[in-house]
Structure 1
Amino acid sequence: MTACTLLATLVACANEPVCSADESTASPATMPAKHAAVFKQYCFDCHDAASEEAGVNLEQLSFDIAKDIENAERWAKVLNAINSGEMPPADAEPISDDQKSAFLKDLSEQMVIARKRLSDTGGVVTLRRLNRREYANTVESLLGVRPDVSVLPDDQATSGFDTQGASLFMSSDQIEQYLASARRSLELALSPQKPTKMRTVRVEPEDEYTPHYAAAAEQMRDTRRRADAFLSQTEKPASDFGFLDAYQAKRQRRIEWLPLMEDYLNRPETKTGITLIMTIKQGGYTKVKLPVLHESQDGRYTIRVRAAAYPDARGRLHYLEFSEGFGTGRTRLGWRKVTAPLSAPEIIQFSFVHRPGEKKQIWIHQRSHQDRADKNQATIDMQANGIGTPPGLWIDWAELTGPEPDGNREQLATQILFEKPADWTEQRYAGEVLRRFAERAFRGKPANREYLDQLNQRYHDNRAEGQSQTEALIDTLSIILASPSFLYMIEDAEPGTADGVRPMLNGNELAVRLSYFLWSAPPDDELTRLGRTGELLDNDVLRQQTTRMIADARADKFVRGFVYQWLQMERLGMFQYDGVQFPTFDNAARECAGEEIFQTFQLILDERLPLQTLLDADFVVINDVLADFYEIPGVDGHAFRKVPVPNDSKRGGLLGTAAVLAMGSDGQRPSPVERGVWVLRHLLNDPPPPAPPNVPMLSRLDGQLLAARDLARAHQEQPQCANCHQKIDPIGYGLENFDAAGLWRDTEVITSPGAYRKRKKLKEFEIDASGQLPDGRQFANYNELRDAVSERGEDFARGFTESLIGYGLGRPYGFTDDALANEILSYANKNGYEVSAFIHALTQSSAFRTK
C-alpha cells in the first residue's frame, strides 16, 4: 500500500472548506485556521479538490473538529498518521519540526475538547443497572447476606466512575448469573440452619508446629548424612542413597536452611510457643493456623493472641499480620503491633466477620510482601549471619472465640418470612410474602398485579412439584432479585414539557437517588418515609437528610467509592514492588497507604475543613504502620488519627502521601510522566491529551544509564512527543526526590538487573527537582512545587466539582454541565469550600432532582 493510499484509509471527505474557520468566532474544539498552511504546503499536491488522490480531499476537512463524531474521527486519524510518521510520505517534503510541533500541540489540545463536547449527554441520565458495589450492598440490606459479585457482569467504567449508565450494561444471558447469585443468597438467609454454638478454641503452637519443624530439621540432617556417605565412596550407586546422581547429591548436601531450623529449635521459647521466622516451606513463614470455619459457621469472631517481641528485630517484623482464605489464596485482614518483651507477653485482640456461605481459615503470621522478598531477604541475611532473618515475634498461644449471633440477619429473615396469621391460607401467605418483598426489593415501588400473579403461579407450580414451602419461596423470590426493577435504577418515564424540560423526581425516586449517591445502598426507613410522604421534596428537609446521611457511618461507601475512582487509586495495586529494594513497602504499608487517602478525606468531611486542605494540610492521618514508614514518632495503635507535622515536613497533602507517589511509579523507578499526568489531571484540572499511538521507541538509548530527567529530554527530541512532555515532565521532576515507594531520597541510584543477590550499583545521580507548571510558575524543589500546586486551589475545586457531578448524576460531565458546576462552586465558596457544601449544592440542584 502506498503512503497516499494509506492516508486515504485514514481521512474521508467532508463537506466544509478547510480554510473557512475564523479564529475570532471559532467555537471550542476548532483547529486554528493558521494550520491550513500545513495542508497547503505538504498535502494539497496529492489531496486537494483538483487531484483528490486515492479519493482524499483535505480541502473539505472541517476545522470545527467537534462538528460531528465522523469529522472528529477523521481528525484523530490525521493526528495518528502524522504522529507515527506515516505522513507526509518518505519521498515527500517533511514537515519542519517547528510546524509539526505547533500543529500537533494544537490538534491534541482541541481533540481533548472535542471528545468532551461529543460525549456530552445534554444532561440525560442513562438508565443503568446497579454496579457491583451497589448490588452487594442492596442484597445485604435485604437479606443480611453479602453475595459473591465476582461472577456478575463487570463495571466497565468508560468515563471514570462505576455509577455511569453508559458503562453498566449486560446481556440477556447474564440474567442467569443474577438468578444463581440471588438463589444462593436467599438460601443462606432463609434456609433453616442449626445454630452454631459460641465457643472458644485455643491453639498451642508448640504442640502443633514444633514437632513438625523438628522432623523437618532431622530430614535435612538425614539428607546431608546420605549425601556425605555417597560422595565419600565409589562402589555403590547413587540410588542406594536416595539420589539420582552425584550432581543431585552435591546439590542437596548444601542445606542452607538447616542452621535456621536448628536455631529455631534451640530457642527455649519454642518449647512453649512459636517463633515467627522465614522458612523454606510453602508460605515462606511460620504461622499459627486457627480452626477452619465452614459455610454455616458465620458470625463475628474474636481472636486473642498472647505474644511478645524480640527487641533486636527489624521494626516491621514486630507486627502480627492476620489473613484469611482457604488454600493458596489469602486476603489480608489487618495488623497489630506487639511491643511487650519476652519476659512479659501481652494479649493482642483482633475481630473479624465470617460471612455466610464462605469457608476459610485464619492465619496469624508476620508482616509479608506479595513476592518472594521475605525469602530473598532471609537468604541475604543468612549470607551475613549464617542463620537468616532474625525473628521478630513469639506467640505463646492463640484463641478463637465465636460466632456471636447475627441478630440483624435473623431479624431480616423474620421480616421476609413473617409468622403466618392463623386465619390465612398458605396461598394468601405466600402471595403476601412475595408482594412485600417485591416492594422492598424494588425500592418502594409496588409491583404490578400481573407480575405478582405470575410469581404466585410459580410458587404454586413449585409446591405441586413437591418442594417445601421455604424452597418454593426461595425459588420465586430469586426471580424478584433478577428482575429489571431490582437490577436497574428505574425512574418512571414521563414526557417532558414542550420546551424539552424533563419532569422532576417524585419523593420516593429522590430518596433512592440520594441514598445510592451517599450510601451506595437503598434508603433506610427514615428516608423512605420522607420520600413516600413527599416531605423530602422540601429543600430544608432534603438538606437535613443530606446532612444526616453524610454524618452516618454508611457514608463511608461514598468516600471509598468516589475517592478511589476520582483519584484513580487502582494504580496502587497494579505493580509488584521488589521487597529487597523496598523492604518496608510491604502489604501492610501499601494497604495502609491507600487507607490514608480515604481517612484523610473522611476527616476533612467530618471536621468541615476546606477542600483545599487536601493540597496543603499541616497534618497527616495515619496509624502506627504508616508512622513507622514515614518515620513519624509517637504514633501507637492501628487506628488512624490526625497527626500534626512541622512546616518543613515532606508529608501533608496529597502530594506527600505514599499512595499518590507509589501510583506514579512502575514498582521499580518513579515515573515523572505518570506523576506529572496525575497532578495535571487531578490537582490542576488540566488533563493532557491521551498518549498518541505509534510513538517511536528510543532504541538508540538501549543499555545507557540515564537519570529520569535525561530520559524525558530524549523523548522531547521528537516533535510528536515534545508537545505533551514539555507540559507533563517538569511537574514530575518536582517529585523525583521520592522513590518508587514514596520514601525520600537525595540521589537516584541505578542498579544492575537480575537476581537480587547479584545486583550492583551501576550509577548514581544527584536529583534536580526543579521544574515549572504549565502556566509558567517555576519551582526549585518539592516544597516549592507543593506551594505552587496549592495556590491553584480554584482549579482543584473545579476538577473536584466536575468529578462529583459525574459520579452523582451517573453520566460523564459535559459542556452542558458548566452552569451547574459554576453554581456548585459559588455555593461552596460562600461556605468555606467545605466538602459537604459541594455535596449539598449538588443534591439541591435541579439536575440532581430531575429525571
Structure 2
Amino acid sequence: MISRFLRAATCAVITGGAFAAADPSDSYKKEIVPLLENYCYSCHGEGTAKGKFSMDDFKDLPKHLDDRKHWLAVWRNVRSQIMPPSDEDQLATEEKKKLLAWIEKDVFKLDAANPDPGRVTIRRLNRTEYQNAVFDLLGVEYDTREEFPADDTGYGFDNIGDVLSMSPLLMEKYIAAADSVVALALPDGAAAQVPRVDIAGKEFKGAGADSGWMPFAKTQKVSFDQEIKWDGDYQIKVEYSVHGATEATTDEAMLRVTAAGAEVGKVSLGWDQRRVIELTGKAALKKGKQTLEIALNPARRPLPSEEELFFKVQRVIVQGPLSGEQQELAKGYRMIFVDGPPPDTVSGKDRYARKIMRSFVSRAFRKPLDEPTIDRLAKVVRDVTEEPGKTFQDGIKQAIAICLASPRFLFRVEFQPEPNNPAKIVQLDEYSLAARLSFFLWGSVPDDELLSLAFNNKLRANLPAQVDRMLKDPRSKRLVKNFIGQWLQARDVETVAMSAKTILGKSSNREAAKTFDPRLRSDMQTETEMLFEFILREKRPAEELISARYSFLNERLANFYGIDGVKGEDFKPVDLTEHPERGGILAQGTFLMVTSNPTRTSAVKRGLFVLDNLLGTPAPPAPPGVPELESAVNSANPHPTMREMMEIHRKKPECRGCHARMDPIGLGLENFNALGQFRTQEHGKSIDASGQLLTGEKFADVAALKEILATQRKQDFYRCLAEKLLTYAIGRGVEYYDSTTIDLLTARMDANKGNLRELVQGIIESAPFQKRRGDD
C-alpha cells in the first residue's frame, strides 16, 4: 500500500509539468523561463526589482539554479498564492504545478522515494503533557495552569521544540512540582487511608435545578443518595465554581450543604474567578443510603447594569469513617507499590525498591533504566529509609521526586548517532517511536503495552493495531481537544472577549445573557470537538469538517442557532438538511466567535483564518499604517454594512491586493453575527453573501461557499490539514523538504475518499515521524 502511494507521489512530482530533462539548465530555459516572463518579470525582471527581488539578475546560470534561498522564496510565495499578486494575471493550475515541481526536483533535489525526515529540537514537556503524564503515572490531578506559565507557541501549536525553552525559574517550578506531585500521590498514611468516594457534580439532581448551572437568583436544591458502608463521622468536601459575570458584581447567594439532614457547612457566595472553590465540613452518617443535599438561596440581587451569577457543582468527596476503623490504599499507592506493602527485611526492601523503580521510571523516562541508574535510585530509597523517623514510603517518594525533576522525564530526547551530520538519516529506535506515538495520540507517556512491544522490537510490525487500540482508548480525546483547540482555536472560545450586549443590541449585559447564555461558550467548544472526533472515529471524509450536513447539539445551543426539535442537556447528532447554512466548522460558534471583533464581525479575520488554516494559502502581512475599518463610517452612511466598509477600504491601492484574497470568503460568512447567530440583515439592509474566490469559483451564499471549499478546493484542504496535523504530531514546522511527504499524505487521502483516520495512520508511517537526521 505504501509503495503504491510512493510511486504515485513520485510520478506526480516528476511529471507535474510534463518534463523530465536531465539538465536543469535545459528544463529551466525551455519550461520555466516562459512562465517567469509571463507572470513574474513585470515586477521582478527586466530591470525591475520590486521588494528588492530580481529573478533575471544573475551572471552564472548554474549558480543561480543552485541558489536555494532564492528559489525557496519563489516556491513559498507561488505555493501559498501570495505571488503573483491577486490583481495580476494568475498561473493556471497546470502552470503552477509545473513551476513548483521543477523547483522541488531540480533545485531542492527532493527524492520522493527517500524523503528528508528533518530534525526536531530536543524539547521539554509542555504543561498539558506534564499534567497528563503525572496523571497516567501516579493518578495525580495536578493543575499545571496554576503552577506553570503558559507555553510559547510556534506554527500555531504549543508543542513545538524550537519554542519550548527552559528558564532557570521554570526549572525551579518543575523541582517544586515534583515534590508536590509525590505528596499528592503518596500522602502520609497512604497505605492506610480513610476510604473516600468521589461523586461527580452531574450526579446531583433536583426538581427544576441543574447542578451544572444554578442561578443565584433562584431558590433551589440538588441532591444525591450515597451508599454509606459504615456508621461514623465523615468529612464532606464540595468542590464548586462561580460563573456568569465577566466582571465584579454585587450578586450574592447563600450556599448550604447537608448530609442526612445535618448541616455540613454554609457560605456566602459572590463573584469569584477561581476555577475550583472548596467547602469542607463533617457529618455523622449511618450505614445505608444517605442523602447529600446542596441548597442555594438568593441573598443580594445585582444592580440593573450588572450580570447575574451562577453556581456549579464540580465534585463532592465523601471520606470516612474518620476514626480510622476502616482503611484502604491510596490510588497513588496502588499504582506505585505494585506488590503491596514492602517486606520487613533490608534486602527485601532493596529488591522491592529496584522493582518499583524499573516499573515506574521506565514509563516516566520512556526507556528501560540502565543498571547504574537503578543502583543510584535504590540507594536513595535506602538512605532515606535509614533516616530517623523516615519510612520506606518516604524513600520511594524521594526517588520518584528525583525522577520527576530529571531531564530524562522533563525532556523528550531521541538518540541520533551523528547529531551534527545533516546527511546522516536514521530510523528512530522503537522506544522513541513509542514516545512519539503516545505523545501524538494521548499527549502523554507510553503505556506498558507500547513499551513491551518496543522492548521486543515489535512495535513497527504492529503499528496499525496499536493505532486502532490507542484511538479507542479514552485518552485519545486529548488529541481531539489539544489539536482542535489549537488548529481551530476552539479552546479560545471560552475566554475571547465579546460584548454580547452590543452585538445583540440589548440594554444591559443581564438582558444579553438571556440570549447568549454563558454556558454557550462551552457548548460551542464541545460541538466542534465532537464533530472532529466523530469524523476521526467513524473514518469519515475529512472534508465533512467543512461540508457536514449534521452536527452535535444540545437544546441550549440548538435554540441559540435557531434549530428546533432538540431537547435536553446532553449532546446528540442532529440532521441539518433543513438548515443548509449550518453544518461544518465554518458555521459553528467557535470559529465565528474567535474570528470576530468584540463588538462586530470581521471579514478580514474570517477570511484570513480560512486561507491560513483550511486552504494553506496565507495572505501576506498587512502593510504598516493601514487605517481602521471604522474610518469608512461617515455622516452620509452612519451605519454601513460590512460589505460597504470593505469596499471603501479596498479602494486604497496598498490594501486592494490582499483583500481580494480574504474578503470574498469573509463576506461569504457575513450572515453569521459575531456570536454565531444567523441573520439576513445588517443595520436594516439585506446582507449580500455572494462572492468569487481569487481562483475564480463563484458562490451565492455560505452553503455554496462551503461546497466549493469541500469539493473544488478539496486538494488544498487536504494539503493544509496534512501540514497542520503533521506539525502537531512531530513538534516542528513543515519545511520545503516535507513537500514530498505532504504529497504522499494527500495522495493517501485521495485514494481513501478523504478518510481522516488514514491521514493519522499515514503521518505515523511517514518518514518525518519514523526517522530523523542530524542538524544543519
TM over 0.5, shorter chain: yes
CA 166–43 in structure 1, closer or farther in 2 if over 3 Å, else same = closer
Partner of 1:488: 411
Give the counterpart letter for 1:165 in structure 2.
G
Q: How does 1:57-96 map to 2 (within 5 A)?
A: none
> Does the 8 A contact of 1:675 with 1:732 survive in 2?
yes
- Aligned 1:416-815 pairs, distance under 5 A: 419-420=342-343, 422=345, 424=347, 426=349, 429-447=352-370, 449=372, 451-456=373-378, 458-459=380-381, 462=384, 466=388, 468-469=390-391, 470-495=393-418, 500-538=423-461, 541-581=462-502, 582=504, 583=512, 584-696=515-627, 701=632, 705=638, 706-749=640-683, 764-791=684-711, 792-815=713-736
**Number of matched residues?**
641
Aligned mates of 2:544, 2:538 — CA distance in 1: 11
- Distance in 1, matches of 2:443 and 2:596, equals 31
Give 2:606's aligned amino acid. Answer: R
Which protein is bigger by CA-based radius of gyration?
A: 1
- 1:724 Cα deviation (Å)? 0.7
Q: Distance in 1 between matches of 2:587 and 2:645?
A: 24
Q: Which residue of 2 aligns with 1:289?
A: 255
CA contact (8 A) 2:252 2:270 kept: no
What is the rounded CA distance, in whole Å, between the counterparts of 2:463 and 2:726 in structure 1? 18
1:50-61 equivalent positions in 2, closer than 5 A:
none
- The aligned residue for residue 175 of structure 2 is 179
- Kept after mapping to 1: 8 A contact 2:669/2:689: yes
| Aligned Cα root-mean-square deviation (Å) | 5.3
TM-score (norm 2): 0.70
Q: Deviations over 1:150-180 (max 9, x none)?
A: 3335421211222321122212443221111
Residues 300-334 of structure 1: per-residue CA shift (max 9 Å, x gap):
x9xxxxxxxxxxxxxxxxxxxxxx9998224499x
Following the alignment from structure 1 to structure 2, what is the Cα–Cα distance between the partners of residues 827 and 407?
48
Matched, 1:162 2:158: yes
1:598-629 Cα deviation digits (max 9, x unpaired): 00111112222111211211211112221221
Structure 1 segments unaligned to the other structure (5+ residues)? 1-20, 49-57, 77-97, 206-260, 293-300, 302-323, 334-348, 352-361, 367-371, 380-388, 750-763
Q: Report the AA paired with residue 135 of structure 1.
A: Y
CA contact (8 A) 1:439 1:447 kept: no
Counterpart amino acid of residue 686 in structure 1? T
User: Residue deviations 1:245-285, cap 9 Å, x none?
Assistant: xxxxxxxxxxxxxxxx9xx9xx9x89999xx9999x97554
What code does the residue aligned with 2:129 have?
A: E
Distance in 1 between the 2:716 and 2:303 partners?
47
Q: 1:768 to 1:327 in 2, by over 3 A?
A: closer
1:586–1:23 distance in 2 versus 1, CA, 3 Å: farther
Aligned CA distance change for structure 1 residues 574 and 718 (closer, same or farther; 3 Å): farther
| Amino acid in the other structure paired with 1:411 | R
Deviation at 1:742, TM superposition (A): 0.9
Matched, 1:817 2:748: no
Residue number in structure 1 paired with 2:273: 329
Q: Please give the alpha-carbon distance, in whole angstroms, between the structure 1 residues aligned to 2:243 and 2:438.
A: 48
Per-residue deviation, 1:699: 8.4
Describe the shift of the 1:392–1:824 C-alpha distance in structure 2 as closer, same or farther (beyond 3 A). Answer: closer
d(CA) in 2 for partners of 1:429, 1:465: 18
Instruction: Tell me how far 1:578 sits from its aligned partner.
Output: 2.5
Q: Could you give the per-residue CA deviations for residues 394-431 of structure 1, whole angstroms, max 9, x where no partner exists?
A: x9x99957369897544214339752364626555545
Shift of 1:131: 1.5
C-alpha spacing 1:363/1:656, structure 2 compared with 1 (3 Å): farther
Give the counterpart letter for 2:417 in structure 1.
Answer: E
Q: Superposed, which structure 2 residues align to 1:269-348 within 5 Å?
A: 285=251, 287=253, 289=255, 328-331=272-275
Query: Over residues 428-468 of structure 1, what are the superposed CA-to-partner deviations in whole Å (9 max), with x where a residue is unaligned?
Result: 5545544543323212321451x445445555665576461
- Relative to structure 2, which stretch is displaced further, 398-407 or 714-723? 398-407
DSSP-derived class of the 1:638 partner: coil
* 1:185 CA displacement: 0.6
| 1:466 to 1:22, Cα distance in 2 relative to 1, 3 A | farther
What's the counterpart of residue 344 of structure 1?
none
Measure, in 1, the Cα distance between the counterparts of 2:387 and 2:571: 56
Larger RCO (CA under 8 A, 6+ residues apart): 2
Give 1:66 deviation, angstroms. Answer: 11
1:26 shift after superposition: 7.0
* Greater displacement, 424-433 / 637-646: 424-433
Q: Is the 8 A contact 1:278 1:286 kept in 2?
A: no
**Compared CA separation, residues 726 and 690, structure 1 to 2 (3 A):** same
Given residue 132 of structure 1, which amino acid in structure 2 is its aligned partner? Answer: R
Q: 1:643 to 1:453 in 2, by over 3 A?
A: same
Aligned in 2, Cα 1:183/1:827: closer, same or farther, shift over 3 Å?
A: same
**Structure 1 residues 122 and 696: CA distance shift in structure 2, 3 A:** farther
Other-structure match for 1:354: none
Q: Map Cα deviations across residues 196-240 of structure 1 (whole Å, 9 max, x no partner).
A: 5559999999xxxxxxxxxxxxxxxxxxxxxxxxxxxxxxxxxxx
Unaligned runs of 5+ in 2: 1-27, 77-83, 109-114, 207-215, 224-241, 260-267, 278-290, 321-327, 505-511
Matched residue SS, 2:531: helix
Separation (CA, whole Å) in 2 of partners of 1:121 and 1:37:
33
| Residue 843 (str. 1) matches residue 764 (str. 2) | yes
C-alpha contact (below 8 Å) 2:582/2:588 kept by paired residues? yes
Q: Tell me the residue number matched to 2:186.
A: 190
Distance 1:192 1:619, change over 3 A: same
Q: Specify which of 402, 405, 411 is matched with residue 318 of structure 2.
A: 402
CA distance in 1, matches of 2:463, 2:597: 45
For 1:502, give the aligned amino acid.
I
> In the superposition, relative to structure 1, how do residues 270 and 144 fare at CA in structure 2: closer, same or farther (>3 Å)?
closer
Q: 2:124·2:412 contact (CA, 8 Å) conserved in 1?
A: yes
Kept after mapping to 2: 8 A contact 1:495/1:503? no
Q: Distance in 2 between matches of 1:547 and 1:566?
A: 23
Alignment partner for residue 830 of structure 1, among 730, 743, 751? 751
Q: What's the CA shift for 1:843?
A: 1.5
Q: For the residues of structure 2 that align with 1:699 and 1:423, how far apart are their CA atoms?
A: 78
Q: Equivalent residue of 2:501, what SS?
A: coil
1:747 Cα deviation from its structure 2 partner: 1.7
C-alpha spacing 1:500/1:363, structure 2 compared with 1 (3 Å): farther
Q: Deviation string for 1:729-781 (max 9, x for gaps)?
A: 121111111111011122213xxxxxxxxxxxxxx433222211121212222
Percent identical across equivalent pairs?
Answer: 28
Are the aligned partners of 1:416 and 1:437 in contact in 2 as well (CA < 8 Å)?
no
Aligned residue for 1:320?
none
